Amino acid sequence: MIRRRFIPLFAALAMHASAWAADVRVEVRSPGGAPIANAVVTISGPATTTALPADGWVMEQKGLAFHPFVLVVPPGATVSFPNHDQTRHHVYSFSPAGPFELKLYGSGETRTVRFPKAGTIAIGCNIHDQMTAFIRVTDAPWAAVTDASGVATFHDVEAGDRSINVWHPYQKGAPDATLGRESMIPAAGSVTQTFLLSIRKPLDLHSAY
């Protein structure tokens, strides 16, 4: 009888390998309440694991645009840049955190770049000036980009005092500053945090060239 009662408890503990963890939902909105997509949300603090893998990251070129617009990766990550357009691209960055140049390459081809250190890498194409994207390299154990509804969701964030930070490539103020807040992550359940961020989006020109 006693044995039967303990089986479900052991099973529950086994399923929650990262015991004493909670889900964290972060909403990023403008002061007017509009959802802000493409904001990078990081959760830092002592952690035993990082949620971000070092490989498998992709920055596509499709429809004369980079996809995703914002990518967040850990230091040392390798990012591939496949070209799915019919035209050729010449991808580069002058950002001190990870300058690189991928000389002209055509449809169906790909190149890879390794980003060893943390920072922001602004990416462009020398053929198509309207193409822009950002890679944010972070050593935070948990990081994600907000979706179209302005939400980033994290599962199994270890309980404890954590710092939640938000960054957006078009934020007002210092380009590398983050909007941060200390948060106590509970041992179970979920927690939601909302950040208000002011951004100034430049003109998005779609050109056939």
Partner 1 sequence: MRSLVLCLIAGIAPQAMSQTPHGDLSGLLDLRVGAGGGETSWLDGGFGKLGLGGEDDLDARIARGALVWRPHLTWSTDLYLQLEFDPEQDNPVGVGEAYLRFKPMPAGSLRYSLKVGAFYPPVSLENDGVAWSTSRTLTPSAINTWIGEEVKVGGLETSVTMPAGAGHLTATGAAFGYNDTAGTLLTFRGWAMHDHQINLGGEFPLPERTPAWWALRPRQAHVAEPFREIDGRVGYYAQLEWRPAAPFAASVLHYDNNGDGHSRDDFQTSWDTAFTNVSVIAQLGENTQLLAQAMLGETAWIPLANGPVAKVDDVGFRSAYILLDHAFGGQGLAARLEAFETTDENQPYSLNSTPENGWAVTASWRNHLTTNLIWMVEGVYVESNRDARSQVGVDPDQNQLQLQTALRVNF
Does 90 interact with partner 1 (rule: CB under 8 A)? yes
At its nearest, how many Å lie between partner 1 and the CB of residue 96? 11
Among positions 16, 84, 103, 114, the unique one binding partner 1 when judged by CB under 8 A: 103
Q: Which is nearer to partner 1, 7 or 208 (CB)?
A: 208
Structure tokens at 166: 């938000």
Among positions 49, 106, 114, 188, the unique one binding partner 1 when judged by CB under 8 A: 106
Q: Which is nearer to partner 1, 4 or 200 (CB)?
A: 200
Q: Which residues in 115-174 contact partner 1 (CB under 8 A)?
A: 124, 126-127, 129, 170
**Alpha carbons 103 and 124: distance in angstroms, whole number:** 12
CA distances from 173 to 9, 39, 97 (A): 50, 15, 20
At its nearest, how many Å lie between partner 1 and the CB of residue 27? 19
Cβ contacts of 91-94, under 8 Å, gap ≥ 24? 91/61, 91/123, 91/124, 91/125, 92/123, 92/124, 92/125, 92/126, 93/121, 93/122, 93/123, 93/124, 94/122
Q: Which residues in 19-78 contact partner 1 (CB under 8 A)?
A: none
Does 201 interact with partner 1 (rule: CB under 8 A)? yes
**Alpha carbons 164 and 24: distance in angstroms, whole number:** 10
Q: Which residues bind partner 1 (CB under 8 A)?
A: 86-88, 90, 92, 94, 101, 103-104, 106-108, 124, 126-127, 129, 170, 200-208
